[in-house]
A and B are shown apart, each in its own frame.
Chain A
């Protein structure tokens, strides 16, 4: 750490401070600013040269003037990590928020995080039973996956995330996950909702919370998920925990990213978001996984609210290109009073095939899930037609598909907030509903599964 304090600020713009020639400062170095009233702020070097240094201030630049003293801390941003993190609530910058003592570091971990060597990863293939039929049957989750929830304002994504956090377990195992919860720019009310629920169910003792609320500095949000993931990596890869990282709301994170980009006068990409947003998001999402020689795992559940329910908006769009699928929450289903209002059609789990089947879930899982999709998709499409020509114009096949779509929504998707269905229960329920359709129309089902599982036609 250098003891020198510089007073060479030339410009302050948004969250950025520009200062003149200093000693050589490293890229990414942590900076401490001492304001004239004696308070301090923290920042990070974004650009450095012999003549000029650009610092991004995490807590915002309110109160910074040209006399503000700047010290370079000689190191990049690190999080003190230790097993004591579990059970703690920290601020978005990693300081205690629960009134407890500072974390005594086992060591300090670089929060940027190195990329996992693709060669060193293990293929995720252990099925996680969430107890939610829509997810378990059609977008099955596996350990080490990153599966975001694409939602929108006014929808119950928080309930769903909490239900998953509560119920998620490996099939036939009681082993719990450690939850790392990362709040970025959410309201105090939402935060309390999460906190009380975690407290109520006793999960808080097994969780680490990093909290940046809506009235906390926006720039700090760029650090918060990195702290959370650093803690997750420490717990998973140094102490063999199975970690479930929930972050909410990625949309706020991206807005902060845009804010910094604009302040730096960068050439913007789509809708003003920086061109490197894909890479930046990848640096977060790709920190999920399981690796050779380590027991633990990191599974990620990012929540993002799609502005204007638009799935082609850059935030869900770029996320979808990085994550291994998505769970899409539907306003239409929500307004029909269905919980969880998961629209399985645009939802997807890319790692599903690796995690299901004999010895993992059940041999008929893949067939059943394909058939559910196909029948529900056709049923929904027919609703549009019925609105124009009426049910009378439909043939027998189409009528059965149409009825199935209603059954699927009301019996299969709908479940209560504390209903924990086993995967066998989910699949049996699927068969029961599919049996309302004449078998000859169930072309996605292998005959051998019909013989074995069909409620009325099994042999």
Chain B
């Protein structure tokens, strides 16, 4: 047995080699073209390899060489603004080397090796450094300072530290035992990066999406699942989160999805301005695009590549948000490989280890105390694409058992062009209890109570709608008709949000809070007016209410809203006076 063997069998992306000494998850080079693969099973003298590139044209007898390394990503300055395939090959480099079509057998470094970065040390000779200690910084993009850390398995006393321009493989720091540290480190993707401890989440990830922030908030370091049938707006929701959430770093994984969608993101992001930093959003973004027609094995790896990069930035003390669109395609990649391995299938042909893999993945999220004692977080938002929109299938169920937030997309709402088409009746978030204090301190003392009021109105509406379906709304008493109108206002004015509108695409928490106050004050005034004898019709149709609602599309709405609410109150009161 040696480092070199030969191909015995080829079946799609799964290749069997003989005569090679290999350990599980070793990276191997397959065939004359040296295609990249990973060992996933060992049987006596045979080892089974999943290959990350197209295998047609390869024949038994061709060589297989073990590199002795596990599948790893290169971590260091140069990650941000990149777009990678599933195994961290920059797509821009691939275009340079292969043209517009992705052929095979081409290697590309994950980060640029010869670019010089200005390294500013933050430690001095004689300092003791531990795994994860920051030894210096590099201004990677306008907004993000890249903190160079001691790799998790090294420590010692600084013997020499440099300052100046270096590339990522030049030594910038030497420890007393002779260990040389460079700006680049490698980390195996299937192993979570270490940290000291996990904290309970206590800060919301503000997304600017009203229904998410207000009704079903996600915490920094939390997990959320977005299941929905096609056309219900999963991708738009994910992209909105990538654009507007107040994370410092965003990792976006397009896993087995459409090519044109990734192109849209690529052409749009550089022009979008981050509302928190006023700089292009691209500066904080790393993208991984393994579209549906790219090799499935690389799709399987893409999720791990993404989360490892996310953890790396977390270790620097950043809040990272990771979007995976879609985890169902990832699960399908597992299923396809599992079936080629002729493993005993679990539910619907998925491998029996599906749910444990999902759990392991989501478990890499969290708010942690990093190795250097900093506070960092990885928030994971996974889209799920259940067949036929039926979430009783294994991937949705496996996801829902783990995640704390469920944003259920609804085809019916999408059909009515109610976007984001998140169903307010069956979605949930388990975070409000731990986040409410934050809202009271930072937005308004009664923020949680307002949330309860709004969501109970929606609940009441759904009960009333059942009656309306049978007898029509005119048969209801006036106060219930008013409740329906208020609920309609919540839906059309607050829950609906136009992702493609320059202004409406983002609402601050302050604005969200004021909008709910506006709705509730409409309810109060209308109740009073009706009690004083005004007709429901007149109260509902006051023009100032339409103005209040339409004005949300205009810039500076937050400043105008109080005045508009006052006008509405006045007009409703005058409706009462006209009546008397």
The reply to whether A24 and B83 form a contact with Cβ atoms under 8 Å apart is: no
Q: Is B91 an interface residue (CB 8 A)?
A: yes
Q: Is B475 an interface residue (CB 8 A)?
A: yes
* A164 to B54 CA separation, bound complex (whole angstroms): 35
> Known contacts being A26-B58, A117-B101, A321-B385, is A267 close to B349, with CB within 8 Å?
yes
Interface size of A in residues (CB-CB distance below 8 Å): 84
Partner of B417, one of A326, A374, A393: A374
Q: Mark B252-296, 1 if CB is under 8 A from A, else 0.
A: 001010111111101100000000000000000000010111101
Tell me which of A186-194, A285-293, A413-421, A424-432 binds B.
Answer: A285-293
> Known contacts being A25-B60, A49-B60, A267-B345, is A289 close to B415, with CB within 8 Å?
no
Tell me which of B6-14, B109-117, B358-366 binds A.
Answer: B6-14
The reply to whether B417 and A373 form a contact with Cβ atoms under 8 Å apart is: yes
The reply to whether A270 and B387 form a contact with Cβ atoms under 8 Å apart is: yes
> Known contacts being A50-B60, A118-B262, A282-B292, is A385 close to B469, with CB within 8 Å?
yes
The reply to whether B474 and A118 form a contact with Cβ atoms under 8 Å apart is: no
Partner of A76, one of B56, B103, B471, B549: B56
Give the Cβ gap from B164 to chain A, nearest Cβ, in Å.
33
The reply to whether A345 and B349 form a contact with Cβ atoms under 8 Å apart is: no
* A346 to B92 CA separation, bound complex (whole angstroms): 37
The reply to whether B95 and A279 form a contact with Cβ atoms under 8 Å apart is: no
Nearest CB to that of A112 among chain B residues? Answer: B56
Q: Mark B362-395, 1 if CB is under 8 A from A, else 0.
A: 0000000000000000000000010111100000
The reply to whether B332 and A324 form a contact with Cβ atoms under 8 Å apart is: no
The reply to whether B387 and A317 form a contact with Cβ atoms under 8 Å apart is: yes
Contacting B at CB under 8 A, from A1-57, are: 24-29, 46-50
The reply to whether A312 and B266 form a contact with Cβ atoms under 8 Å apart is: no
Q: Is A354 an interface residue (CB 8 A)?
A: yes
Contacting A at CB under 8 A, from B460-513, are: 468-475, 492, 500
* A385 to B465 CA separation, bound complex (whole angstroms): 11
Nearest CB to that of B234 among chain A residues? Answer: A321
The reply to whether A47 and B231 form a contact with Cβ atoms under 8 Å apart is: no
Tell me which of A59-67, A119-127, A171-179, A248-256 binds B.
Answer: A119-127
> Which residues of the partner chain B approach A214 to less than 8 Å between Cβ atoms?
none
Give the Cβ gap from A278 to chain B, nearest Cβ, in Å.
6
> Which residues of the partner chain B approach A325 to less than 8 Å between Cβ atoms?
231
Give the Cβ gap from A203 to chain B, nearest Cβ, in Å.
27
* A119 to B471 CA separation, bound complex (whole angstroms): 56
Q: Mark B434-466, 1 if CB is under 8 A from A, else 0.
A: 000000000000000000000000000000000
* A266 to B472 CA separation, bound complex (whole angstroms): 53
* A389 to B345 CA separation, bound complex (whole angstroms): 52
The reply to whether A48 and B60 form a contact with Cβ atoms under 8 Å apart is: yes
Q: Is A206 an interface residue (CB 8 A)?
A: no
Contacting B at CB under 8 A, from A313-360, are: 313-314, 317-318, 320-322, 324-326, 345-346, 348, 350-351, 353-354
> Which residues of the partner chain B approach A278 to less than 8 Å between Cβ atoms?
256, 292, 329, 332
Nearest CB to that of A233 among chain B residues? Answer: B101
The reply to whether A116 and B259 form a contact with Cβ atoms under 8 Å apart is: yes
Q: How large is the interface on B (under 10, 10 to 19, 20 to 34, 35 or more residues)?
A: 35 or more
Give the Cβ gap from B543 to chain A, nearest Cβ, in Å.
8
The reply to whether A289 and B292 form a contact with Cβ atoms under 8 Å apart is: no
The reply to whether B56 and A27 form a contact with Cβ atoms under 8 Å apart is: yes
> Which residues of the partner chain A approach B293 to less than 8 Å between Cβ atoms?
115, 279, 282-283, 286-287
Q: Mark A142-183, 1 if CB is under 8 A from B, else 0.
A: 001100000000000000000000000000000000000000
Q: Is B240 an interface residue (CB 8 A)?
A: no
The reply to whether A377 and B61 form a contact with Cβ atoms under 8 Å apart is: no
Partner of B91, one of A119, A144, A389: A119
> Known contacts being A278-B332, A377-B417, is A116 close to B100, with CB within 8 Å?
yes
- Among A118, A144, A294, A346, chain B packs the most CB atoms within 10 A around the CB of A118
Give the Cβ gap from A93 to chain B, nearest Cβ, in Å.
18
Q: Is B237 an interface residue (CB 8 A)?
A: no
Partner of B292, one of A46, A268, A286, A293: A286
Nearest CB to that of A47 among chain B residues? Answer: B11
The reply to whether A24 and B348 form a contact with Cβ atoms under 8 Å apart is: no
The reply to whether A393 and B472 form a contact with Cβ atoms under 8 Å apart is: yes
* A388 to B500 CA separation, bound complex (whole angstroms): 38
* A120 to B263 CA separation, bound complex (whole angstroms): 8
Q: Is A276 an interface residue (CB 8 A)?
A: yes
> Which residues of the partner chain B approach A388 to less than 8 Å between Cβ atoms?
469-470
Q: Is B185 an interface residue (CB 8 A)?
A: no
* A24 to B9 CA separation, bound complex (whole angstroms): 10
Give the Cβ gap from A96 to chain B, nearest Cβ, in Å.
26
> Known contacts being A289-B260, A394-B472, A395-B474, is A118 close to B231, with CB within 8 Å?
no
* A389 to B55 CA separation, bound complex (whole angstroms): 64
> Which residues of the partner chain B approach A384 to less than 8 Å between Cβ atoms?
469
Q: Is B57 an interface residue (CB 8 A)?
A: yes
- Among B260, B390, B468, B474, chain A packs the most CB atoms within 10 A around the CB of B260
The reply to whether A395 and B473 form a contact with Cβ atoms under 8 Å apart is: yes
The reply to whether B549 and A25 form a contact with Cβ atoms under 8 Å apart is: no
The reply to whether A27 and B95 form a contact with Cβ atoms under 8 Å apart is: no
The reply to whether A345 and B415 form a contact with Cβ atoms under 8 Å apart is: yes
Q: Is B335 an interface residue (CB 8 A)?
A: yes
Give the Cβ gap from B24 to chain A, nearest Cβ, in Å.
22
Q: Is B315 an interface residue (CB 8 A)?
A: no
Q: Is A440 an interface residue (CB 8 A)?
A: yes
Q: Is A104 an interface residue (CB 8 A)?
A: no
Further contacts, 20 of them, CB under 8 A, given A115-B259, A115-B291, A325-B231: A28-B55, A29-B59, A48-B60, A50-B60, A114-B103, A115-B294, A117-B98, A118-B91, A118-B289, A276-B296, A286-B259, A320-B229, A345-B415, A346-B231, A348-B231, A377-B415, A377-B417, A389-B472, A440-B546, A443-B546
List chain A positions with a Cβ less than 8 A from chain B: 24-29, 46-50, 75-76, 112-124, 144-145, 237, 266-270, 275-276, 278-279, 282-283, 286-287, 289, 291-294, 311-314, 317-318, 320-322, 324-326, 345-346, 348, 350-351, 353-354, 366, 370, 373-374, 377-378, 384-385, 388-389, 393-395, 440, 443-444, 446-447
List chain B positions with a Cβ less than 8 A from chain A: 8-12, 16, 54-62, 83, 91-92, 94-95, 98-103, 229-231, 254, 256, 258-264, 266-267, 289, 291-294, 296, 329, 332, 335-336, 339, 345, 348-349, 385, 387-390, 411, 415-417, 468-475, 492, 500, 541, 546, 549-550, 553
